[in-house]
């Protein structure tokens, strides 16, 4: 009986030590992951807004006009003390699962850029939407996501009309386009309310 109690005590001590060790590892790893995610976000925002001098988290201020599109992050982009744009991290259901994008909109009412952050669609088909070497316009070397840059938020955003689709991947094309449409509309509305500028017109 005494040996059983001793063995139980030893095992308990080992378990406690292991838990404490894991807690320290998790704490250190979580901090590194958070710092990396922050750096990735700042790099992505800078890519969409080269004139960016700062940004503020405005999460919760914008509501998606499409129930199939969720807003996971919202950012007001600043140059000096003035807002020059807004960016939204949005997600929706695509062919292979969740797709996540980052959409930037300037105060001129045009999309400053789109980045596809996560996509699980079929390699060689839907996944081409995120490829920098897959072109919907080969002559002008325009990628699927690149075609949104410069589009007005007032455009219809209809696949196979004003938006070129990824070949044999209509579901993917529509899912991403829906996320861009919802994000750009919400961002433009927020900018109009906070800058007094709507579609580039005071």
At 156-193, the pLDDT tens digits run 999 999 999 999 999 999 999 999 999 999 999 999 99
Say whether pTM exceeds 0.85.
no
- Kindly compute the dihedral angle of the four CA atoms of residues 139, 143, 146, 147, in this order, to the nearest 10 degrees: 60
Q: Residue 191 and residue 41: Cα distance in Å, rounded?
A: 20
- pLDDT at 200 exceeding the cut of 50: no
Region 49-61 average pLDDT:
95
Is residue 202 assigned to a domain? Answer: no
Is residue 165 assigned to a domain? Answer: yes
Is residue 120 assigned to a domain? Answer: yes
Q: What is the side-by-side strand order in the sheet with 82-94?
A: 54-57, 69-79, 82-94, 97-106, 111-118
User: Are both 135 and 110 inside the same structural domain?
Assistant: yes
Number of domains observed in the structure of the chain: 2
Is residue 79 assigned to a domain? Answer: yes
Domain boundaries, position 7: 1-48
User: Are both 73 and 21 inside the same structural domain?
Assistant: no
- pLDDT at 202 exceeding the cut of 50: no
User: Are both 176 and 85 inside the same structural domain?
Assistant: yes
pLDDT tens digits for 20-29? Answer: 666 666 666 7
Region 26-41 average pLDDT:
76
């Amino acid at each position: 009986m005494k040996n059983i109690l001793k063995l139980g005590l030893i095992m308990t001590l080992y378990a406690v030590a292991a838990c404490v060790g894991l807690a320290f590892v998790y704490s250190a790893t979580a901090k590194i992951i958070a710092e990396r995610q922050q750096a990735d976000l700042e790099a992505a925002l800078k890519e969409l807004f080269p004139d960016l001098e700062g940004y503020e988290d405005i999460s919760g201020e914008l509501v998606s006009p499409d129930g199939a599109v969720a807003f996971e992050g919202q950012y007001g982009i600043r140059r000096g003390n003035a807002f020059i744009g807004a960016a939204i991290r949005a997600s929706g259901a695509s062919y292979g699962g969740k797709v996540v994008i980052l959409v930037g909109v300037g105060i001129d009412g045009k999309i400053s850029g789109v980045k596809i952050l996560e996509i699980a669609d079929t390699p060689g088909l839907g996944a081409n939407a995120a490829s920098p070497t897959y072109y919907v316009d080969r002559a002008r070397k325009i990628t699927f996501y690149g075609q949104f840059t410069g589009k007005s938020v007032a455009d219809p955003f209809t696949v196979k009309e004003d938006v070129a689709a990824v070949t044999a991947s209509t579901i993917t094309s529509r899912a991403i386009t829906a996320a861009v449409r919802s994000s750009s509309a919400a961002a433009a509305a927020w900018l109009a309310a906070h800058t007094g500028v709507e579609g580039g017109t005071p």
